[in-house]
């Protein structure tokens, strides 16, 4: 049996759903250190680039803030080109000696594209418009896929219900959510 490293931050859930011309990104607010909840209302989803991009992170908080700043600077350098900005960020993240040690993942979305960015240089676009990261990510992803085709259910409601399911299952995910939407 392995012992969990209590000095390391664990868990969160970030979910992004794209349907028609709208996209939502939702994230829970729990910050955990080992088996202890440090904060229940953290804001892990935010708008960037003049509110045209939504970004959410899972992982170490300080690392995520560094990545938000780096992404914002890439978006300033490549306005309106989210894919290019994310590829440039992923290159830096993988190649830079300091950034390489960051432990986080990000979901970013704008009017036309949703992407998952990892520290290994991956910039992935989900095939079905649904992506999730973090300890409760697979629960939220499964729930969102099951709910997305429910007739008449608005995309925000799909996201909220999927996150509730994830929070009911994952101990590192709570019910305090932040949700941002870009409408088409």
The enclosing domain of 133 has a CATH number of 3.60.20.10
Q: Which residues make beta-bridge pairs with 31?
A: 39
Is the separation of the CB atoms in 44 and 136 below 8 Å? no
Our answer to whether residue 66 is catalytic in this structure is no
Q: pLDDT grade, residue 67 (50/70/90)?
A: confident
Q: Count of domains in the chain?
A: 1
How do residues 103-141 score in pLDDT, each as one tens digit? 788 999 999 999 999 878 899 999 999 999 999 999 999
Q: pLDDT grade, residue 6 (50/70/90)?
A: very low
pTM over the 0.75 mark? yes
Catalytic residue among 2, 12, 13, 173: 12
In a domain, 20, yes or no: yes
Domain ranges, residue 170:
9-182
How do residues 69-88 score in pLDDT, each as one tens digit? 999 999 999 999 999 999 99
Helix (H) / strand (E) element for 137: namely helix 137-147
**Residue 184, pLDDT above cutoff 80:** no
More confident: 34 or 182: 182
């Amino acid at each position: 049996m392995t012992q969990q490293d209590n000095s390391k931050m664990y868990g969160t859930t970030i979910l992004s759903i794209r349907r028609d011309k709208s996209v939502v990104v939702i994230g829970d607010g729990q910050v955990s250190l080992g088996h202890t909840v440090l904060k229940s209302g953290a804001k892990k989803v935010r708008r960037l680039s003049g509110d045209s991009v939504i970004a959410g992170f899972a992982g170490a908080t300080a690392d995520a803030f560094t990545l938000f700043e780096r992404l914002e600077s890439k978006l300033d350098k490549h306005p309106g080109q989210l894919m290019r900005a994310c590829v440039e960020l992923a290159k830096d993240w993988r190649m830079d000696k300091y950034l390489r040690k960051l432990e986080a993942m990000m979901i970013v979305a704008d009017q036309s594209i949703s992407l998952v960015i990892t520290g290994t240089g991956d910039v992935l676009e989900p095939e079905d418009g649904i992506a999730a990261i973090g300890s409760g990510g697979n629960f939220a992803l499964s729930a969102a896929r099951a709910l997305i085709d429910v007739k008449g259910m608005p995309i925000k409601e799909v996201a909220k219900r999927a996150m509730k399911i994830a929070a009911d299952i994952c101990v590192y995910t709570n019910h305090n959510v932040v949700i941002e939407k870009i409408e088409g």
